[in-house]
Amino acid sequence: MSDDSCIQCYNVVRPRQEALQCDGCQKWQHRTCNSDREDCCISRLQMAAQSSENVAQSAFVCQLCDQKKVEWKCEDCGIFLCSTCKEKIHPRLKSSDKHRIVSIQDIWKDNEPWNYGKMTRMEADTLLQKYKYMGDGAFLVRESRTLTGNYILSILIKDETAHLRIFTKEESGQLKYDFNGHLFDSLDDYIEFLKHGTHIFFSGVSDKPTSLAKPIPK
């Protein structure tokens, strides 16, 4: 059996197949294959992905190590992770580089009136123009369709639409949202900061700075 063979079915794990690699033994296993090896990291990942633990418990304890506080969630696997397991265990899953991992503090997003999820620039332009009667500062936040995991602030200024990429950076294993050097733990905090007197300047759109007003209605 080659090093790239599945430990269960013995077939070679192909580049585009979803598979898990044990952090300890370095062996591969297809996600569709079951394993009885309780001491193997593969089993830990598999059990976590299939787990039906309630959200309350998941929100406090990493589903892989059962010890550390949750900081992240993989939207593709459906599992909650601490920063250590995010960096060392989750990458053992083949194709994990394409998975969307979000900060646990952003799980709120579906309830926020300004969050519109994945949306193209053109779709945002069309929607904002529909509500241009709301005036300067009317806005929405969207997830980029071309830059996975990145958020864009789209805002009305003088009946025109401007777009501001929301930059992020990682500090001590935690995702932070960066506005001109001001770091925030969540998008909610970022938006609240911009709604309370902080001015945004869009060169070429307006010669005056703009503050966020109300989000356009859903």
pLDDT, tens only, 57-89: 434 577 777 766 777 888 777 788 888 888 888
Residue 13 lies in a domain: no
Same domain, 153 and 170: yes
Residue 169, classed as helix, strand or coil, is strand
**Shortest CA distance to 92 belongs to which of 33, 34, 18?**
18
Phi (first) and psi of residue 5, to 5 degrees: -85, 150
Same domain, 91 and 163: no
Return d(Cα 218, Cα 2) in angstroms, integer.
54
| 106 secondary structure, DSSP code | G
Q: Which domain holds residue 120?
A: 107-195
Tens-place pLDDT, residues 25-34: 566 777 777 5
Instruction: Please list the ranges in the chain whose pLDDT falls under 70.
Output: 1-3, 7, 21-27, 34-60, 67-68, 94, 104-111, 148-149, 173-174, 197-198, 201-207
Note whether 173 and 71 are within 8 A (CB). Answer: yes
Give the whole-number percent of the chain exceeding pLDDT 70: 71
Residue 2 lies in a domain: no
- In this prediction, residue 17 carries a pLDDT of 73
Report residue 7 CA to chain centroid gap: 31
